[in-house]
Structure 1
Amino acid sequence: MDIRQLTYFVAVYEHGSISSAARQCCVAQPSLSSALRQLEQELGVTLFIRLPKGVTPTEDGEKLYGHAGRILNQLQSLKASFNEPVARIRFRLGLIKALGVERMSHLLREFSTSVPGLELHLVEPDEICEARIITRQLLKAGEAFQPIWQDNYLLALPPGSALILQDNIALTDFENLPLIQRSPCDAWNTLYPELVRRGIKPDLRANIQTIEYALGLVSAGVGCAVVPDFDNMRQRNDILIRPINELKLERTIGLAYPKNTHSEPLTMLRQYCQYASSRQH
């Protein structure tokens, strides 16, 4: 496997066409096709399904795209570090709250160093920006959506809660349960109306915005909270988490960007998001 093969692969993936990729890479189509076949043979997988008009990536192709984009971006950044200073490129990225500090820090760190001269500005998701990391429900007309993470929600319990003896939480367990409301929250918007419909009344103790504050109140014994199942929560010893039965509480986090818009920072951000998605599965 070499850089040339990965470059051809990424071009075919992004264009959905071997002929278009060959034109972009300034190479004869048979040569590009041969390089792709060699790459597939080396990996022992099929990367694309050939269609009458173009190609579509297989699951292995989707997986390789994130890795290949990351490798090519790092190589480009390495080369750029030995060149003359380049013009600054301003890129505004809108972010919703409660995305998970660890995984977002990793994603933003890699992206911010991948484009020479990139000046990354993090803004609210409703401000003017080149792209947004949001839930699918917030997608606007004219935007494309590339999924990154699929989060399930769990109930975070204080160590002293009687519910820690249960492996799962039923909706009836929410009756008079000390509960911390967090808004905005996709899971709360599903859970609370269902509790109301069933006549179940939890004991609402607080209404806050961030997951960090919610977990702080849980740890202090104020109440329980519905939170996304982030990896770092399972490593904490000041709270316990349990799955909730009867309701499917989940959200899809993804990259939203204007359709038919192309730029170097956006292309690289999409590749890093694809890589982050492949690491979750």
Structure 2
Amino acid sequence: MDIRHLKYFVAVYEQGSVSAASRQCFIAQPSLSAAIRQLEQQLDVTLFKRLPKGVTPTEDGERLYGHACRLLSQFQALQRSFTEPVDKIRFRLGLVRALGVERMSDLLRQFSVQLPGLELQLVEPDDSCDARIITEELLKSGEQFQPMYHDQFQLALPAGYPLALKPMIELQDFHQLALIKRTPCEAWQRLYPALVRQGIEPDIRADIQTIEYALGLVSAGVACALVPDFEQLRQRQDVLLRPINMTGLTRRIGLAYHPVKTSGVALETLLRLCQKLAA
């Protein structure tokens, strides 16, 4: 297996397009397509479904992506260990909870790859830091806000749950509904007062903080939960997502920073990555 083939595979996965990946990798499109086919033959799997516009990864493609990212990171670290030492760039990044493990891991991986010598320290958003990835509601005076994601909250239900037959969840459906309360959660702060005003009482089975634990309980059939509509969640077979008939169950995630207090190549690199996400 050629390391270049894994690099081409990751580019196609992240770009969602063979032509876009070929431009990114500076390789002719037929050559890149041939490399992907060779990789599929070696693994005896199909990595992408070809669509009229672009491609989408198969389940095997999703599995390979995580392995490929780790192998490429290790290979790059090996290369760097034999090159001239670079100056360390220390950067403290504050993160709120429940941002989505997959997408944040990908962002931080790209940040590290594009900035050799980066020493990244992840801290709580209220700790002293160079920048913060937060919801827009947490923005402080003097901070600039670069949007990254716009999340719509939906109701996550266990597979086979009767309520999943409905295309839209109404507020009345929450009465005595087995529900996992997740705090802090922007959607819960807006939904719960609306339920109280209508005399609707859900059956709270747990009160936890992270989306990952909430999804684990949903998958186990314990209860339902409010979660952001992440792309990765739509591909799961053990959890079903349904929209809720209520406005305002959204949040904006972005990079907050002080343009006067924080500057330098690390912030510039992170800003470019965030702007790309928002495009």
Instruction: Give TM-score scaled by structure 1 length.
Output: 0.68
- Give, in whole Å, the separation in 1 of the partners of 2:108 and 2:83: 23
Corresponding residue SS for 1:121: strand
- Alignment-mate amino acid for residue 112 of structure 2: S
The CA deviation at 1:105 is 1.0
Alignment pair present for 1:263 and 2:259: no
Segment of structure 1 superposing worse, 138-147 or 256-265: 256-265
- Give, in whole Å, the separation in 2 of the partners of 1:129 and 1:272: 18
Q: 1:41 maps to what in 2?
A: none
Q: Cα deviations across residues 151-186 of structure 1 (Å, max 9, x unaligned)?
A: 000000112422111000000110111110001111
Q: 2:87 maps to what in 1?
A: 87
Q: 1:102 maps to what in 2?
A: 102
Q: 1:59 maps to what in 2?
A: none
Q: 1:112 maps to what in 2?
A: 112
- Give, in whole Å, the separation in 2 of the partners of 1:105 and 1:266: 18
Q: 1:216 maps to what in 2?
A: 216
Instruction: Say whether the 8 Å CA contact 1:160–1:221 is kept in structure 2.
Output: no
Inter-CA distance 163–269: structure 2 relative to 1 (3 Å threshold): same
Gaps of 5+ in 1: 1-76
Corresponding residue SS for 2:252: strand
- Give, in whole Å, the separation in 2 of the partners of 1:221 and 1:85: 52
Instruction: Say whether the 8 Å CA contact 1:146–1:256 is kept in structure 2.
Output: yes
Instruction: Say whether the 8 Å CA contact 1:107–1:276 is kept in structure 2.
Output: no
Q: 2:277 maps to what in 1?
A: 276
- Alignment-mate amino acid for residue 268 of structure 1: T
The CA deviation at 1:83 is 6.7
Alignment pair present for 1:174 and 2:174: yes
- Give, in whole Å, the separation in 1 of the partners of 2:237 and 2:115: 39
Corresponding residue SS for 1:262: coil
Corresponding residue SS for 2:128: coil
- Alignment-mate amino acid for residue 266 of structure 1: L
- Give, in whole Å, the separation in 2 of the partners of 1:158 and 1:210: 17
Bigger Rg, structure 1 or 2: 1
The CA deviation at 1:95 is 0.6
Q: Cα deviations across residues 198-217 of structure 1 (Å, max 9, x unaligned)?
A: 11111111000111110111
- Alignment-mate amino acid for residue 235 of structure 1: Q
Instruction: Say whether the 8 Å CA contact 1:191–1:247 is kept in structure 2.
Output: no
Corresponding residue SS for 2:199: coil
The CA deviation at 1:262 is 2.0
Segment of structure 1 superposing worse, 150-159 or 112-121: 112-121
The CA deviation at 1:239 is 1.4
- Give, in whole Å, the separation in 1 of the partners of 2:278 and 2:83: 32
Q: 2:202 maps to what in 1?
A: 202
- Give, in whole Å, the separation in 1 of the partners of 2:86 and 2:164: 56
Corresponding residue SS for 1:201: coil
Instruction: Say whether the 8 Å CA contact 1:151–1:228 is kept in structure 2.
Output: yes
Corresponding residue SS for 2:212: helix
The CA deviation at 1:118 is 1.2
- Alignment-mate amino acid for residue 146 of structure 1: Q
Q: Cα deviations across residues 218-267 of structure 1 (Å, max 9, x unaligned)?
A: 11111110000001111111111100003330000000001333211001
- Give, in whole Å, the separation in 1 of the partners of 2:85 and 2:112: 16
- Give, in whole Å, the separation in 1 of the partners of 2:155 and 2:93: 30
The CA deviation at 1:84 is 3.1
- Alignment-mate amino acid for residue 253 of structure 1: I
- Alignment-mate amino acid for residue 276 of structure 1: L
CA RMSD between the two structures? 1.7
Q: 2:228 maps to what in 1?
A: 228
- Give, in whole Å, the separation in 2 of the partners of 1:126 and 1:191: 26
- Alignment-mate amino acid for residue 99 of structure 2: L
Aligned residue pairs: how many? 200
Instruction: Say whether the 8 Å CA contact 1:150–1:252 is kept in structure 2.
Output: yes
The CA deviation at 1:115 is 2.0
- Give, in whole Å, the separation in 2 of the partners of 1:144 and 1:242: 34
Aligned ranges for residues 98-177 of structure 1 at < 5 Å?
98-177=98-177
The CA deviation at 1:277 is 1.8
Instruction: Give TM-score scaled by structure 2 length.
Output: 0.69
Aligned ranges for residues 33-52 of structure 1 at < 5 Å?
none
Instruction: Say whether the 8 Å CA contact 1:180–1:206 is kept in structure 2.
Output: yes
